[in-house]
Structure 1
C-alpha cells in the first residue's frame, strides 16, 4: 500500500544515528511549464525562472540580485519525470541560515526518488516522492570534505534546507560524482536511441537540465517575481537532534512485539510515555518499507519469506567519489515480507538459492548449506553475485554466525563463500525486522503521530512469541538468533565498537566506552495461544464488563461450576506451521483486599499445552493436491499428453531435474499452484452451508482468476517445452487451464476428514472434553474456514455456543489491527496479546491486573522414541517414557543394569534414525520430530566394514544424556537438549561419539521425497 501523506511543519527534527529515515510526499503535475535553460559564463548550467507579470526569464547569481537571461533550450518537466522515474538521485540538502544563506555542505546525506503511480492515489496525486536521509553523525575533521552533519550541528541546532537557486547550487553542480551519476542514468535510459543525438544532448548538459527540472518542483517561488507562492513539493527544513538523553530529557522507551510464524509475521511497537495506561494509547503496527519500491509500505501481517537482495539508494560507485564510502549503507542483506515474495516470484531460474519460504521452518538446521546463497537478480543488471555485502558480511562467518559469538578469535574469519546455515537466515530476517523497526520509531512521521516529536525513541525490549509446544532447545536457538541479530545491527550502525559480543560488554559494564545506543532486552517466553486468550479476557472485562472481572467470571462460567471466581479457557491456534492447544485455569485473587470488587489479580495456571506440525500449510497443500493438480492434469490430458503422470512428476513432483529446472519448478508452484489454492480458500472463507447464495461454483480459466503477469514468461516457457516433449502442442498456455470446483464439495471433503488436519483437530477435541472448559477460542487465519469450525463442532468438546472464533470478534478501537472495531485477521491476536502481557508485566494497564509471572514455560516432552513416516511413535519404539523435569532440565528415566549400576536406556542403531516425542501416553497421539541420529562420514565407512561378534547383524547401542543447558538456564527454561553420552556395538570395530551426529531436526515428513519444505522445493505431487 502507499503510505499516508503527512503535513509536516515548516521545520521538523531528525534523530541523529537512527539509520536511514524515509519521508513521503505526493504531487499532482497539472500543467507545468517546460524548464528553460542557459549555460552561464563559468560553464555551469542553470534553470531560468519566469517572471509572468513582466514576461522575462532570470536567475539569481546571489540571494539579493537577479540577472535576466535568454533561454538556450527547453525540456518539459514531464520528460524529466519519465527519464528519472524510479531512480534514486542525490539531493542538495545544505546547512541554512535565514533568510537565504546556504553553506557548501553537507554534501552527501540526502537522496530522493520520484515515481509515477499506476493510478492516482486517494488525494489525486499522480506521483510519489520518497526522501531518504542518512542520519549518521560524522566526526568533524579539519580539511576534510563536509559530507554529513556533525556533532557541532547537533549541539548548535543547525538548520538544513534543500537548495534550488543558482547561487546555492553552482558549486554543487560541478562535482564530478554528481555529473557522472546523472550521465550514467541518462545513458541507461537512452539505450536504443541514435548515438549522435545522445552525444549532442550530453554535450549540452541535458542530464543536468533534467535534474534541475526535478529540483524546481521543490523550489520556493521568488517573492514578488512569481505569481505562484507555494512549491509543487513543499519540503520542510530540518534540524538534527541527538539520539540520547539531552538536558535531563530521556529518550522514550519502545517495546517491539514480534509473532514470527511459519507463514506470516506480525509486529507491534509500544511507546512508554511514562503515564498510566499510555501503552494502550501509544502503540502502533510495525510497518515494512519496500526497499526496491520504496513508495510502498506493508502494514498487515507480512509473509515470513526471506530473499537475499541488496538495498541500493542510487549509484554507490559515484557516491564513494564524494569522499564518503559508507553513505546509505543499509545494515542487512535480506529482504522480507511482500518485497521478498515479489523478488522470489521474479527469479529468472538460473540464480541458484536466493532465499527461503520461512527460516522458522529451518530453525533447527545449523549445518552449512552446501548449495550456497546468491543475491536475487530481479532488479539488477549483473548476474547474481554471491550473497555477501558490507557491512553485514564483514561481521558474519561462512555459516552465517555472528563473529562476535565465536569464542576463538582465530576462527573469526568473515564470510568469503556464503554457505549460511538455514537456521542463520532467521538471524538475517530478524535483523531486517529490527532495522525497519529502528527506522520507523524515529521517523518524523511516527514521532509526530505519537506526540513529543522532539524526543528520540530507543528500543527497550524485544518480545518474541512462540508456539506452546516448541521444544526448549529450539527456543534457545530462537533467542540466540535474536541476540545475534541485535548485535549485528548495532555493529552495522556503529552503535557498538570493538569485536566483543555487545551483550557481554553490558554485563561487564563496558557500556560507556563501547555502546552508543542501549541494547534492548530480549524475552522469548510467552506462547501464542495464551496471548490470544488474554486479548479475549481484556476485551470482555474492560470493554464489556466495565472492569469487573468477578462479574465476567460468574457470567462465563459453566452452570455446573461451583467456584464462580474461576474459569477454564481453551484456545486452538491454527497457524501456518503449527496447530496449538492451550488450556488455562484463571482464578481471582483478593489477597490484601477484603470483600469482592474489581481490585483483584487474575492468576493463570496452564493445565495443558501442545503443538502439532500439521496446520495451515498442510491445508494449502491438500487443496493443491486435491483440486488444483487434478485440473492441471486434466488440461494436459485434453491437449494430447499421453503420460501425464510422468510429466506431472517432472513439473511438480520429485523427479530429478537440472538445477535451473528445479528453480522453475518452484516458480511454477509459487506463481500458479499456491495462488490458485489461496484463491480457493479465500473464496471458501465466505461459504455458509445454510446460505445457498454463498454456494459458489468456481468454474473459470486460470487467467481470469490470477492477476495479470502473475505467471512469468520463463515459467510459461518451461511448462510449454516439457508439454511439447511429452507429445503436446507448442502453444499450451497455463492461463487456459479450467478450474472447476463447487465449494460445497470442498466443504464436504473437509468435514468428511479427507484433509490431514482433521486427525489433529479430532485429537485436540478429545483432550478438551476431558478438561471441562468454559470456553474455546479459535484463532489463526485457517480458523476462519467453515469446515474447520464444523470439524470442531462435530466433535462437540463444548456446547456450540461456547466455541468462539475470534475472526470478526468485536474488540473496540483499542485493538491495533482492528477493522471497524472488529478482529479482521486472527493472526494478529498473538502479537496483540503479547503486547497486553508486556503491559501487564509492567503494571501499565489501569484496572486490569494480570499475573504474567505465572505463565511459566515447561517442556512438553514426555515420551521419546523413533518416529515413523506417519509421524507416530509406536509403543514398541519408545526409548524413554514418563520423562519428568528436575533441577532445570528434563530427566531421562533410569534403568538398572545387570551389575546393579543405574543408567539410561540405549537406542539400538542400525542406520540413520529420526527421533521424536509426544506428550501423552497414547500410541495414536501425533508425535513431533525432534532429532536425527546418523553416522558421520567416518562412522559410516567404519560401520559398513564392521563384522558382528555374535553371528547376528551389526548394530550400535547409543546412550543419550541431557545437555546441562547453560543458555536455557540463563533464559529460565527447562533444558531438553540431548547429547550422545556413549556408544557401544556388537562388532569388531570400536565406535565413539565422533562416529555419530545427533542433530536437532523438527521438520515433519510430508510424504514428499524432497527434504526441503514443499514451498521451497515446489514438489507438491506425492
Structure 2
C-alpha cells in the first residue's frame, strides 16, 4: 500500500511536469494517461470490503503462471484444459474434475516473488480457469544480490585456497599481494568500503564508475558462461575489446592501488560462478521449497533471468522432490510462436517480458474477454491478494527479533537506542522467517526546526548547531520507549506513533519523530548506486 501511494505521488509529479512542458512545447508532450493499477483507492478497502475491488495487483509470479497456462491450454492443447489438468492435476474429495496447484518463483533484480495458486476450470465451449491464491510472498534477495557477491568475491577480495581459485577469486586483492603492495586492507576499504571522511566526491564518483564501467562487464562475462562448464583466461584487452573504461578511472585506480588495472588477467570459471550462485540462493530456495511441499504443488514455474542458471535450477531438485517434467523453467521452455517476444524457435527472448505478457493475458482474458476460447475468473485474485504485513517490529540484523504488532495485537512498544530505527514486516511469526523493511523512524527535522526557531531570533549560521543540540538532548534520554498502533482490518501497513517516553518514563513529544517509507535496508542508498561494499579483508 505504501509503495502504491509513492507510485501515485510519482504519477502526480509526472502529470504536473507534463503540464509545464505543455506550456512550452505542445508537440512533444507525452499525452497518454498514466495510471497506477490497482489504484490506491482500490487497495484502501479494508478486509471486510475486499469484494469492492475492481482489479488485482498484477504481480510477477502470478503473471508467470498465466503465461504458462495460457500457452499450454490455449495453444499446445488447442483449448482442451482436460488434457493439462488430467496430466498434472489431482482430484480432491467431492470434486468431479482435477484441480491443479501451481507454484511460481520469479527472481528479478530486486525481489524474488513467490505465488502458489490452486486452479479449477470450466469447459463449456470456452475454457475458463479460476486461480485461487493460497500463499504469496516477496523476498528481498534476487539478481542484484548475486551480482554484488560476484563483484565482491571475484573482483575485489577473497582467499585463494587451491589452484582453481587463481585469477577468479579476489583478483584485485591477490593481484596487489602478488605485487607486494602494502596496506591492502586500507586501500580496498578506501576504494570500495563504506563511506568515511577520507572518501571525497571524486572517490565516490570513481567508485560508482568502476562498478558501471569495469565490474559489471566482467561479471557479465562470468554469468554468460556459467552454464558452459569450462574455464578460459582473458586479458584486459580481450575483456574490453569493444568499450574500454575511461582513462581517468584507470589512472585513478593506479594512483590509489599502486598498479595498473590493465595488468590483471581473469579466469572465466563456471565452477567459481556456480559456487557463488549456490551460496547466494541456497537458503532462499530451501525455504521456498519447504512452502511448496507444504501445499503439495503439482507444478513449479520458474521465471526471471537468474533462473536461467543451471546451478540455480539444480537447487530445486536438491531441496524439492519434483520430477523434471513438473519443473517448468520459462527461460528454457518452448512457449510457442504465439508469444510476442519469442525467438524464431518459439523460446522466450527476454525474461523481463513475462510479467508484461502475463498482465496482458489477465486483462484480455479476465476483464475484456478478448482471448479466443479462453477466460480467467479473477475474483479470487482481486479479493484475496492482500498485504503480507501481518507481523511488524524493529529490524535488527535483517530480522524481526520481536513482533510488536500482530493480527491480534494492534498496539505495542519497542525500545529505541539510536535513530534512525528500521521497521519491518513479515507474514509468519518466526524469527527465522525473512522480513522486509517498510518504515524508518527518524527525527522530524521540520518540527524540531520549528521548535528551535520559536525560542527566539537566531541567525542561520547558528540554527544548524541549535537543531543538533536539541537532538543531542533527546539522545541523552535514550533508551526511549516508542508506542505504535495500527488498525489491522483497515490497513495493516499503516502504523502511527502514539506515545514516546524516555528512560525515566517522562513523556517526550511524539511530534519530534516521524515515520518515513523505506523499503531498502540501507538508508544511504542502493549498493549499485553507491558502489559500497562491506568487506572482510584484514
Deviation at 1:698, TM superposition (A): 3.2
1:489 aligns to what? Answer: 18
1:537 aligns to what? Answer: 69
Q: Deviations over 1:236-258 (max 9, x none)?
A: xxxxxxxxxxxxxxxxxxxxxxx
Is the CA contact 1:783–1:789 (under 8 Å) kept in the aligned structure 2? yes
Is the CA contact 1:947–1:988 (under 8 Å) kept in the aligned structure 2? no
How far apart are the structure 1 equivalents of 2:481 and 2:505? 14
Which residue of 901, 904, 907 corresponds with 2:414? 907
Q: What is the SS of the residue equivalent to 2:352?
A: helix
Deviation at 1:559, TM superposition (A): 8.3
Q: What is the SS of the residue equivalent to 1:606?
A: strand
1:479 aligns to what? Answer: 8
1:678 aligns to what? Answer: 220
Distance 1:585 1:480, change over 3 A: farther
Q: CA RMSD in A?
A: 2.9
Q: What is the SS of the residue equivalent to 2:429?
A: coil
Deviation at 1:961, TM superposition (A): 3.1
2:163 aligns to what? Answer: none
Q: What is the SS of the residue equivalent to 1:836?
A: helix
2:494 aligns to what? Answer: 977
**TM-score computed with the length of structure 2 as normaliser:** 0.81
How far apart are the structure 1 equivalents of 2:475 and 2:114? 49
Q: Deviations over 1:133-165 (max 9, x none)?
A: xxxxxxxxxxxxxxxxxxxxxxxxxxxxxxxxx
Is the CA contact 1:983–1:993 (under 8 Å) kept in the aligned structure 2? yes
1:1015 aligns to what? Answer: 528
Distance 1:814 1:494, change over 3 A: farther
Tell me if 1:831 matches 2:339: no
How far apart are the structure 1 equivalents of 2:66 and 2:102? 10
2:298 aligns to what? Answer: 774
Deviation at 1:927, TM superposition (A): 0.9
1:609 aligns to what? Answer: 136
Distance 1:829 1:516, change over 3 A: closer
How far apart are the structure 1 equivalents of 2:111 and 2:32? 35
Number of equivalences = 474
2:454 aligns to what? Answer: none
Structure number with higher helix proportion: 2
Q: What is the SS of the residue equivalent to 1:832?
A: helix
How far apart are the structure 1 equivalents of 2:285 and 2:90? 23
Tell me if 1:523 matches 2:37: yes
Which residue of 270, 273, 283 corresponds with 1:743? 270
Distance 1:872 1:946, change over 3 A: closer
Deviation at 1:915, TM superposition (A): 1.2
Q: Deviations over 1:588-610 (max 9, x none)?
A: 14xxxxxx544342111111110
How far apart are the structure 1 equivalents of 2:127 and 2:75? 17
Tell me if 1:807 matches 2:331: yes
Which residue of 217, 239, 259 corresponds with 1:705? 239
Q: Which moved more, 1:563-572 or 1:828-837?
A: 563-572
Is the CA contact 2:418–2:475 (under 8 Å) kept in the aligned structure 1? no
How far apart are the structure 2 equivalents of 1:537 and 1:528? 15
2:147 aligns to what? Answer: 620
Distance 1:486 1:495, change over 3 A: farther
How far apart are the structure 1 equivalents of 2:208 and 2:174? 21
1:83 aligns to what? Answer: none
Which residue of 877, 887, 893 corresponds with 2:409? 893
1:394 aligns to what? Answer: none
Higher-RCO chain (CA-CA 8 Å, sequence separation at least 6): 2
How far apart are the structure 2 equivalents of 1:518 and 1:671? 35
Structure number with higher strand proportion: 1
Q: Deviations over 1:570-616 (max 9, x none)?
A: 10000000011000111114xxxxxx544342111111110111100
Deviation at 1:845, TM superposition (A): 0.8
Tell me if 1:864 matches 2:389: no
How far apart are the structure 1 equivalents of 2:30 and 2:341? 34
Q: What is the SS of the residue equivalent to 1:929?
A: strand
Query: What are the ranges of 5 or more consecutive residues in structure 2 without an aligned counterpart?
Result: 39-56, 157-169, 449-466
Is the CA contact 2:120–2:129 (under 8 Å) kept in the aligned structure 1? yes
Is the CA contact 2:413–2:484 (under 8 Å) kept in the aligned structure 1? yes
Which residue of 639, 642, 656 corresponds with 2:179? 639
Deviation at 1:848, TM superposition (A): 0.5
Instruction: Map 1:488-507; keep pairs closer than 5 Å.
Output: 488-493=17-22
Which residue of 103, 122, 131 corresponds with 1:570? 103
1:695 aligns to what? Answer: 229
How far apart are the structure 2 equivalents of 1:655 and 1:720? 20
Query: What are the ranges of 5 or more consecutive residues in structure 1 without an aligned counterpart?
Result: 1-471, 498-514, 590-595, 688-693, 884-891, 895-903
Is the CA contact 2:120–2:130 (under 8 Å) kept in the aligned structure 1? yes
Tell me if 1:650 matches 2:190: yes
Which residue of 238, 252, 257 corresponds with 1:718? 252
Which residue of 546, 561, 566 corresponds with 2:78? 546
Distance 1:599 1:906, change over 3 A: same
1:919 aligns to what? Answer: 427
Deviation at 1:710, TM superposition (A): 2.6
Tell me if 1:845 matches 2:371: yes
Q: What is the SS of the residue equivalent to 2:508?
A: coil
Q: What is the SS of the residue equivalent to 1:581?
A: strand
Distance 1:544 1:600, change over 3 A: closer
**TM-score computed with the length of structure 1 as normaliser:** 0.44
Is the CA contact 2:92–2:99 (under 8 Å) kept in the aligned structure 1? no
Is the CA contact 2:114–2:136 (under 8 Å) kept in the aligned structure 1? yes
Is the CA contact 2:102–2:298 (under 8 Å) kept in the aligned structure 1? yes
Which residue of 441, 445, 452 corresponds with 1:933? 441
Deviation at 1:765, TM superposition (A): 0.9
Distance 1:861 1:848, change over 3 A: same
